[in-house]
């Protein structure tokens, strides 16, 4: 009885056509795509600063003394410091995506979006040190540094970003909206992704250290346009902004090597001090803006509904599961937006045609 019913469906399907959901696989066209990366990694530390004076090796060096005036010797000044590593890059990214387009159901589904934001071109990072210290004065040169207010020192370029990746972590559904051109559709979608960064930093008088920041969660709203080309391929233009929530990571670390720092005065001279600090926490915050052009080719075979590489009874079962749950991909025949017998007929037509 089951076989005879399928035979009846097949006869009807032979005379029934409809717009079918289609799978595509595409690559980012780097030459016409852009990405903007803005990231901050902030290391919070506590410790002290002290002048670089040494009675034997540097007798003319700077001495630090607590308070506004007076004091003697070279004294440690309680200090906290935030090392702020800033990245601001403009790149031409590479990458790829898998997606499913259903013009009849008005749906688009993104899966496996991957964007290499650097595309093999590392970008530089700059360092700013934000100091907060008690009031102190210096000798050689003589100057007063009132405390209690953060003071920033721009150190300049200290390293580079060698990896920046945006990776989709679960499928994302969206809406496909017809335009005046029957081959062009606007779309909106939301995907969940993670941002992975590698930042190499070399503090003064220190070797470069690679810092891995992996799996920073981001929610990425996508807007764009899909154009069905004459050969059946698809051209996508996508705009997206990905903002990660700041991630605060406690640090259990040994003190850093002393860091030399030149503090400005009102004149041309500077006070030479050494920062002696111990890291306490790391805060990472990043945002990415991308404008992508993607050329996608049809992929897969719709008759193989469960994508196991074979066309058999289990594909019919898989389709009927989607049909019963009214998944948009199972709406294969007019009237679109309604699930009925003709959708089943359209699938059986695909099933009887098989796969190449």
CA 149-151-157 angle, to 5 degrees, is: 160
Q: Kind of pairing, strands 107-116 and 172-178?
A: antiparallel
In sequence order, the 6+-apart residues with CB closer than 8 A to the CB of 19 are 102, 103, 104, 332, 336
173's enclosing H/E stretch is strand 172-178
259's enclosing H/E stretch is strand 259-264
> What is the residue-level pLDDT of the chain in tens, covering all 356 positions?
333 333 333 333 333 333 456 889 999 999 999 999 998 888 899 999 999 999 999 999 999 999 998 889 999 999 999 989 898 999 999 999 999 888 877 899 998 899 999 998 888 888 898 989 999 999 999 999 999 989 888 888 888 888 999 999 998 999 999 999 999 999 999 999 999 988 887 766 667 778 788 888 899 999 999 999 988 889 999 999 988 888 888 888 788 889 898 998 988 899 999 999 999 998 888 899 999 999 999 887 778 888 777 889 998 998 899 899 887 778 877 777 788 988 899 889 888 888 76
Estimate to the nearest angstrom the gap between the alpha carbon of 27 and the chain centroid: 18
The pLDDT value recorded for residue 203 is: 65
The pLDDT value recorded for residue 19 is: 45
Domain ranges (residues) in the chain? 1-20+302-356, 21-301
The pLDDT value recorded for residue 204 is: 62
For 103, 301, 302, 328, 339, the CA distances from 325, given in Å and listed in that order, are 19, 21, 18, 9, 10
The pLDDT value recorded for residue 205 is: 62
Can you list the positions of beta strands (E) in 2-57?
A: 22-28, 34-51
3-state SS string over 133-176?
A: ECCEEEECCCEEECCCCCEEEEEEEEEEEEEEEEEEEECEEEEE
Question: How many Cβ atoms are within 10 Å of 28's Cβ, its own excluded?
Answer: 26
Q: Is the Cβ–Cβ distance between 316 and 302 less than 8 Å?
A: no
Q: Is the Cβ–Cβ distance between 274 and 261 less than 8 Å?
A: yes
């Amino acid at each position: 009885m089951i076989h005879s019913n399928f035979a009846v469906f097949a006869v009807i399907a032979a005379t029934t056509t409809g717009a079918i959901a289609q799978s595509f696989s595409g690559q980012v066209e780097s030459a016409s795509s852009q990405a903007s990366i803005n990231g901050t990694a902030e290391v919070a530390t506590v410790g002290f600063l002290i002048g670089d004076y040494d009675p034997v090796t540097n007798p003319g060096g700077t001495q630090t003394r607590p308070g506004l005036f007076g004091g003697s010797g070279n004294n440690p000044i309680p200090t906290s410091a935030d090392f702020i590593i800033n990245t601001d890059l403009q790149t031409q990214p590479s990458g790829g995506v898998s997606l499913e387009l259903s013009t009849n159901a008005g749906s688009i589904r993104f899966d496996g979006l991957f964007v290499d934001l650097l595309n093999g071109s590392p970008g530089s990072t700059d360092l700013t040190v934000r100091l907060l210290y008690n009031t102190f004065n210096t000798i050689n040169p003589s100057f007063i540094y009132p405390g209690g207010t953060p003071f920033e020192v721009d150190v300049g370029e200290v390293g580079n970003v060698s990896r920046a990746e945006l990776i989709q972590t679960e499928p994302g559904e969206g809406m496909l909206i017809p335009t005046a051109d029957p081959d062009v559709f606007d779309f909106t979608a939301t995907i969940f992704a993670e941002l992975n960064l590698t930042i190499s930093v070399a503090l003064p008088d220190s070797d470069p250290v690679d810092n891995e920041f992996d799996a920073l969660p981001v929610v990425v709203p996508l807007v764009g346009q899909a154009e069905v080309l004459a050969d059946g391929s698809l051209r996508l233009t996508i705009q997206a902004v990905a903002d990660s929530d700041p991630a605060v990571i406690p640090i259990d670390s040994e003190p850093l090597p002393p860091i030399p720092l030149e503090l400005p005065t009102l004149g041309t001279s500077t006070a030479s001090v050494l920062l002696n600090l111990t890291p306490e926490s790391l805060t990472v915050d990043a945002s990415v803006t991308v404008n992508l052009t993607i050329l996608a080719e049809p992929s897969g075979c719709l008759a193989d509904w469960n994508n196991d590489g074979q066309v058999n009874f289990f594909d019919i079962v898989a389709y009927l599961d989607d049909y019963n749950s009214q998944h948009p991909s199972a709406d294969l025949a007019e009237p679109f937006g309604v699930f009925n017998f003709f959708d089943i007929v359209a699938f059986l037509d695909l099933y009887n045609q098989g796969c190449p």
